[in-house]
Amino acid sequence: MEEALLRAVLFGTPILLASLGALLSERAGVVNLGVEGMMALSALAAFAVAQEAGPALGALAGVGVGMFLGLFLGVFTVSLRANQFVAGLAVAALGLGASGLLGKRYEGVPLAHPLPEEGFALLALGLALALHYLLLGSRFGLYLRSVGENPRAADLFGVNVDGVRYGALGLGGGLVGLAGAYLSLAYRPSWTDGMTSGLGWVAIALVILAAWQPLRAVFGAYFFGLLFFLQFRLQGSVPIPSEAFAAMPYLLVILVLSLSGRTRAPKALGVPFERGR
């Protein structure tokens, strides 16, 4: 049982971090579908830098690449007002492709100095609490939410809508980058093409299921982690085929979170903001 709870937290952590990142920008009205690719490229950057300069700098590099990709997405979604879904998918594809291409020479090498997973887990939990406070208890959070709900009104009150959105994408990207760094520096610890194996998409879905609330994302991510572990722990001891078991985490998380309360998206989510129109 203890083992299961530990796995819930340790496997839930990358999903939580990536979810928090996507949640932050969505609260500011920008959908980030690039999470999977951002995680992949951050994981590679973290691994490459860690091998050369130590794991601490590696983790920073992961965060840095995540922030950069968040801002890069901002250029299209905020400044150029492109379709956020298309731009996000493009970033996902770009990140996955670029990481596969650039990462060739890092494949098949174990990481020299892995980081402890527990450290990342604590940090992620702390960040979730901080984000909760930031969104609901701080002035910046108020601006950020107002930009996500009604950017025109926020603009009239003197809030720099584009600036806040860039900020949310940058910070959110950093969180996604940290998730990538966790995978290649602690969870796995090595780099392979495609190592994010769809966790980014799970994180995006979790944002919606967690109703854009950081604390519910914590619960959702750990719950997913628990079920993911249990599919293997219970395989063979309960008369359910393993293929059906594999679908269980996804189904149960959807079920529980959809039963746990009303969901309302930020009103301006996915809508590019254009001043003075």
Partner 1 sequence: MRKLLPLVLVLLGLALGQGDKLKACFIYVGPIGDAGWTYAHDLGRKKAEAALPWLETRYVESVPEAQALPVIDRFVKEGCQVIFATSFGYMEAVLEGAKKYPNVIFAHATGIKRAPNVATYMADFYQVYYLNGLAAGALSKTGKVGYVAAFPIPEVKRHINAFTLGVRAVNPKAQVLVRWINAWYDPAKAREATEALLAQGADVFAFTEDTPTVIQTAAKKGAYSFGHYTPMLKFAPNHVVSGQIVHWDVIYIDFLKRVKEGVYTAKNLENVDYFWLLQHKAVEMGADYGVPINPKHVPLLQKAQMTVGGKKVSVYDRIMALMKDMQSPKPTFDPFTGPIQDRKGMVRIPAGKKATLQELLSMEWAAPGVVGDWPGEPK
Q: Which residues bind partner 1 (CB under 8 A)?
A: 3-4, 7, 11, 100, 104, 107-110, 187-195, 197, 199, 228-229, 231-233, 235-236, 241-243, 246
CB 275 → partner 1: shortest distance, Å?
43
**What type of residue sits at position 163?**
G
Contact status, residue 34 vs residue 86, Cβ threshold 8 Å:
no
User: At 201, phi and psi to the nearest 5?
Assistant: -70, -40
CB 233 → partner 1: shortest distance, Å?
4
Alpha carbon distance 203, 14 (integer Å):
9
For partner 1, give the closer residue by CB, 222 or 229. 229
For partner 1, give the closer residue by CB, 3 or 276. 3
For partner 1, give the closer residue by CB, 162 or 193. 193
For partner 1, give the closer residue by CB, 62 or 272. 62
For partner 1, give the closer residue by CB, 16 or 268. 16
CB 32 → partner 1: shortest distance, Å?
21
For partner 1, give the closer residue by CB, 79 or 197. 197
CB 148 → partner 1: shortest distance, Å?
31
For partner 1, give the closer residue by CB, 110 or 137. 110
CB 185 → partner 1: shortest distance, Å?
13
Using alpha carbons only, what angle is made at residue 62 by residues 67 and 214, rounded to the nearest 5 degrees? 60
What string of H, E and C letters represents the secondary structure of the chain?
A: CHHHHHHHHHHHHHHHHHHHHHHHHHHCCCCCCCHHHHHHHHHHHHHHHHHHHCHHHHHHHHHHHHHHHHHHHHHHHHHCCCCHHHHHHHHHHHHHHHHHHHCHHHECCECCCCCCHHHHHHHHHHHHHHHHHHHHHCHHHHHHHHHHHCHHHHHHCCCCHHHHHHHHHHHHHHHHHHHHHHHHHHHCCEECCCCCCCHHHHHHHHHHHCCCCHHHHHHHHHHHHHHHHHHHHCECCECCCHHHHHHHHHHHHHHHHHHCCCCCCCCCCCCCCCCCC
For partner 1, give the closer residue by CB, 31 or 115. 115
CB 47 → partner 1: shortest distance, Å?
11
CB 121 → partner 1: shortest distance, Å?
14
Contact status, residue 225 vs residue 210, Cβ threshold 8 Å:
no
CB 174 → partner 1: shortest distance, Å?
22
